Structure 1
Amino acid sequence: MTSTTIHQRDRTVPNTEQERESAERDACPECGGRLVGDDEHAETTCAECGLVVEADAIDHGPEWRTFDAAERDSKSRVGAPTTKMMHDKGLSSSIGWQDRDAYGNSLGSRQREKMQRLRTWDERFRTRNSKERNLKQALGEIDRMASALGLPKNVRETASVIYRRALKEDLLPGRSIEGVATASLYAAARQTGVPRSLDEVASVSRIDGMEFKRTYRYIVRELGLEVKPADPVQYLNRFESEVDLGAETKRRAHELLSTAQKAGVTSGKSPIGLAAAALYAAALLEDEDLTQDAVSEISGVSTVTIRNRYHDLLAAADETQALPSNVSIDGATA
């Protein structure tokens, strides 16, 4: 017998008492064979002699069956995921307001009074100090403004993280909760690629425009946020969804913006104004019925800005000759 064979045989022999006990549990008590679990019959049997070692095993899995991932997620009962949009990250309990018991029956007057007292104390325990009360108010304000602007959940989560950072670094003294919340939401929308204009955000905020802009610059500077200039294409995609234009017109609008960006025409100009001008210019080139007033109403940009910017876009793309014969370069119809 070679040394290699001896070493292999030695490794199979249990050395400690725990290893020996584990080997005995995994072996058949009759023949020492290998044990196999049978999930279908809830049994543990020996693969060599067929002895049923254990019957009626407990199934620790769910009592329901699923056939795809979506159905499995819908039936799962592990609770809601944590979220930065709640001051306690959604981990605390809450007492319902329905005043009904587990069977749906209405509570008596004494029980209703008791539940109301419990709700009051539960609310007090959830916000134990001034920072938590501050955070709760600010996150509610962020959620309200985001709903009014139609911003998705990822923007709200990002805004909540920005506000939490500002609160942690003690940037709020001397500034209103609403102001920092508004600035956080605007910065989050820019970072996540679904920007809204300053005027749009200011219209749903409870502070004036000057305070909003001043607080936004302060938050970005102190937190070192990387906020890139907004891309006009991001605004253009939103404007296109609000008007009934053909696919060729939309394609032409994107081409006008791309050409202008390569030529450096867009530098230093408002991205929302460029997007509105590109949409109007493309409609002119494709002979679509879209007026400057209609584009101005959709985008919130003045008709003067649209006229100036669409002239620059057409010149950069060398499309001035492609205008319809009854339309001049300033947008007037002959």
Structure 2
Amino acid sequence: MEVDDVKVCPECGSHHLVKDYERGELTCYDCGMVIEDSIIDQGPEWRSFDSDQDEKRSRTGSPSSFMSHDKGLATEISWSNKDYYGKRIPHKNRAQIYRVRKWHQRIRVSNAAERNLSMALQILNEDGTKLGIPKDIKETAALIYRKAVERNLIRGRSIESIVCASIYAACRMVNIPRTLDEISKVSYVNKKKIGKAYRHLAKELALNIKPATPYSYVSQFCNKLDLDKKVIIDSENIIRLASESGISMGKGPTGVAAAAIYIAAIKNGKSRTQKDVARVSGVTEVTIRNRYKEISRMLGFDQNE
């Protein structure tokens, strides 16, 4: 039974109508008049007893995604060479299926703008996968890129640089930042171009991105250096003390984070070389030494340890 308050009973004018899906009737609750005797059940014709059955038996498509140029709303032909029932397609039919699949891929992209968008999103997905960022961040980056296309911010710039800038901005927005060096290595785009494209996007799209802090990089750098949680906690405490003392003011967050990790690792008997820390943080050994000396001097750490 389901109450329907939209229609009106033609007999008594009541809005209190009841849908009975077992009988297929729409009746008036007040006077009992049968208004319709063949209503359509909009629900599924199958039953499910758990979430797995509900997911398997549902025939709806996948949710829309910004990672696809058509937002995933178009039909796709799988590359698995299996039919609907999971049986393998015979070899004699595979050439035909391949041609159908190839032409289907071509007609999904109707013009140059869609072709460029499709190529850019493919690059974005590949770079995001190499960086190990989750799907939701890639979706955010794709949305930023789409907004840049709509505002005609791509003109005069390479697609790759705008894609990288979108990824960098998305990571900053969710406070899981990746350094320009990391993005540059996986994309083979000069980090100065990425930085310039990022500043352009941030200004034109009015992206509300807070400045990166050293805390944002600690877990990432420690994981790459194979350091445990105790080093992470000590590094964050060192950063907090440095911030309260004003040492980190005006300094690059990656350099401060790298120096804090270097000190915390020494204190916990798990020292790493400045070269190793510099490699994962993307800053120079000179920068680490300078930040290390400043923090050690101000906070009373023994620089000879």
Please say whether Structure 1 and Structure 2 have the same fold, judged by a TM-score greater than 0.5. yes
Which ranges in structure 1 are unaligned for 5 or more consecutive residues?
1-15, 27-35, 45-53, 324-328
Select 2:172's aligned residue among 190, 194, 198.
Answer: 190
Give the percent of matched residue pairs that are identical in Structure 1 and Structure 2.
Answer: 35
- Kindly state the Cα deviation for residue 221 of structure 1 after the two structures are TM-superposed: 2.1
Equivalent residue for 2:49? 66
Match of 1:136 in 2: 118
How many residues in Structure 1 have an aligned counterpart in Structure 2? 283
Aligned-pair distance for 1:73?
A: 5.0
Picking from 233, 237, 250, the partner of 2:215 is 233
From 319, 323, 334, give the equivalent of 2:300.
Answer: 319
Answer yes or no: is the 8 Å Cα contact 1:101–1:107 preserved in 2: no
1:130, CA displacement in angstroms? 1.3
In 2: Cα distance, 1:161 partner to 1:59 partner: 33
- Partner Cα separation in structure 2 for residue 215 and residue 251 of structure 1: 35
Where structure 2 has 5 or more consecutive residues not aligned to the other structure, the ranges are 1-7, 25-36
Match of 2:153 in 1: 171
Residue 308 (structure 1) aligned with residue 290 (structure 2): yes
Contact 2:69 2:114 in 1 (8 A): yes
Counterpart for residue 293 of structure 1: 275
Deviation at 1:272, TM superposition (A): 1.2
Q: Name the aligned partner's letter for residue 48 of structure 2.
A: R
- Whole-Å separation in 1 of the counterparts to 2:62 and 2:295: 49
Could you tell me whether the CA contact under 8 Å between 1:236 and 1:279 is conserved in 2? yes
Say if 1:71 and 1:257 are closer, same or farther in 2 by CA, change over 3 A.
farther
Paired residue for 1:284?
266
Query: Partner residue of 1:274?
Result: 256
Q: Deviations over 1:253-284 (max 9, x none)?
A: 11111122223322221211111111111223
Shift of 1:197: 0.9
The CA distance in 2 between the partners of 1:195 and 1:289, in whole Å, is 25
Change (3 A) 1:133 1:287: same
Shift of 1:113: 4.7
Larger Rg: 1
* Counterpart contact for 1:85–1:160, Cα < 8 Å: yes
The separation in 1 between residues aligned to 2:57 and 2:219, in whole angstroms, is: 37
Alignment of 1:216 with 2:208, yes or no, is: no
Deviation string, structure 1 residues 42-78 (Cα, Å, up to 9, x no partner): 789xxxxxxxxx9xxx8955644335x6775566443
Q: 1:8 is matched with which residue?
A: none
Higher mean displacement: 201-210 or 159-168: 201-210
